[in-house]
A = this chain, B = another copy of it.
Amino acid sequence: MSQRDKRQDEMKAIDRLDRIIHEPARLKIMTHLYVVESGDFVYLMRTTGLTRGNLSSHMTKLEEVDYVEVIKEFVDRKPVTMLRLTKKGRNAFLEYRKNMALAIEATK
């Protein structure tokens, strides 16, 4: 493949990057959930280093596009919010990673 074609492929890969996942705060959340399957709000706060407000809004955004499922329950009378990666979310994450790999590896 010519250098020119290679870069055309990179441009396409960049265009295909899912902006929802591209945001670093959400990339962190997705990366965690991809591994642990499900985690609670406080755990994610600690591991991602996000503030409550920030995590809350990103969580909502991920829920709106159906990448995560948010389950609110009470444990010991305290509210606990659990996040789980959906099938759709898992696929989107894999797709993002694939496109990003294409984007940054082709220039090597």
Interface residues of A (CB under 8 A from B): 3, 7-8, 10-11, 14-15, 17, 19, 22, 24, 27-28, 31-32, 34-35, 47-49, 97, 100-101, 103-105, 107
Q: Do B34 and A24 have beta carbons less than 8 Å apart?
A: no
**Which listed residue, B7, B11, B31, touches A10 by the CB 8 Å rule?**
B31
**A49 in contact with B15 given A10-B31, A27-B103, A31-B10 (CB within 8 Å):** yes
Q: Do A7 and B31 have beta carbons less than 8 Å apart?
A: yes
**A31 in contact with B101 given A11-B48, A14-B24, A48-B11 (CB within 8 Å):** no
**A31 in contact with B103 given A24-B17, A49-B11 (CB within 8 Å):** yes
